Amino acid sequence: MCGIAGIIYKDKKTHNVGKSLTSMLESLQHRGPDSAGFAIYGGLNLPKNHYQLNIEVKNKPEILEKLKTTLKEESPIYKEKLIKSDEDYDVYRCEIKLNEYSKLKPLIRYLDEIEDIQVINGSHSFEMIKDIGKVKTIAKRYDVPKRIGTHGIGHTRFATESGIDRYHAHPYQSYITPDITVVHNGQITNYWKIRDPLERKGHVFESLNDTECIVHYIADKLHQGYKLEEALEDAVKDLDGPFSLLVGTPNGIGIAKDKLGLRPGVMAENDDIFAIASEEMSLQDVLDTDYVEQIAPGETRSYTI
């Protein structure tokens, strides 16, 4: 099934987006027990050309030392902080500096080639948090309710394809256009028809998850100069299968639903907040309103700040 949620604060100021998304996703926990994740925009405030990496490292001193040596060689600065530890793996949050954004994905690919290391994500204007397990557990582990921002999207996953691990948790990200993320409930049945042209254009796929296909599709459109609303309209035309999806960008949130309306989605707003989720009870966690809209079949919408 999967559950999706998004929230945006209209005053463009930072708020407890992490707390709001945690509440929304906890109400959707029954839709996905396998993993959960958040993309929180507007609160990271990194300097220009600085990026945050979340890196999963095998719990061996020599592997961590290899990671640190590699990052120090590649980046003029390197800072790291352990954010989670379990029996087999540690996750490190690292801040690096690169001369230009185009070097980020090659660096990630290079790190991924090191045995027992996998980069979960890299970002400049948003904070990615995702892991295996229940929403409440993950939120506590990463202090999600303390994460501030202007807007964000979240997901709780019921895995129907691809692995259950940190990397395959949603949101998914593309590096063609900076800081574009997607969460998705549904299936893209013409996956290979969409993926093949994107790979020929240079998009690198790391999984068989159809959500990754969506985020590359949207990022490619934005890279070509499409507005978000235009990219979403084309997505409804080109993507087959049942889906409701949310796109996170540094400037807002986009929404799209398949032409037949086979996956749920509702939205509501007041003077302060616009919110969207798979089910109405999730909206009630963050705003008090009697007017809830159903996302219509084939509808797209973008909300920017």
Please say if the pLDDT value at position 154 is more than 70. Answer: yes
Residue 163 confidence class, pLDDT cut points 50, 70, 90: confident
Residue 162 confidence class, pLDDT cut points 50, 70, 90: low
Q: With pLDDT > 90 as the criterion, what percentage of the chain qualifies?
A: 89
Across residues 272-281, what is the average pLDDT? 96
Query: Cβ distance 51 to 96 under 8 Å?
Result: yes
Q: Which residues pair with 117 in a beta bridge?
A: 57
Catalytic residues: 2
Which of 16-25, 79-88, 264-273 is predicted with the least confidence, judged by mean pLDDT? 79-88
Task: Note the pLDDT tens digit of each residue in 63-108.
Answer: 999 999 999 999 989 999 998 887 799 999 999 999 999 999 999 9
Across residues 108-126, what is the average pLDDT? 96
Query: Cβ distance 3 to 276 under 8 Å?
Result: no
Across residues 6-17, what is the average pLDDT? 97
Residue 212: CA atoms inside 13 Å, Cβ hemisphere, count? 19
Helix (H, G, I), strand (E, B) or coil at 58: strand
Q: How far apart are CA 158 and CA 46, in angstroms?
A: 33
Q: Which residues of 274-296 are buried (b: 16+ CB within 10 A; e: fewer)?
A: bbbbbbeebbbbbbeeeeeeebe
Report pLDDT for 87: 78
> Which range has highest mean pLDDT (71-75, 81-85, 162-166, 232-236)?
232-236
Which of 3-12, 61-70, 158-167, 228-237 is predicted with the least confidence, judged by mean pLDDT? 158-167
H or E stretch at 231: helix 228-238
Q: What is the sign, positive or negative, of the torsion defined by CA atoms of 78, 81, 84, 87?
A: positive
- Kindly compute the dihedral angle of the four CA atoms of residues 305, 143, 184, 45, in this order, to the nearest 10 degrees: 30
Mean pLDDT of the chain: 94
Q: What is the sign, positive or negative, of the torsion defined by CA atoms of 9, 21, 157, 173?
A: positive
Across residues 112-124, what is the average pLDDT? 96
Q: With pLDDT > 70 as the criterion, what percentage of the chain qualifies?
A: 99
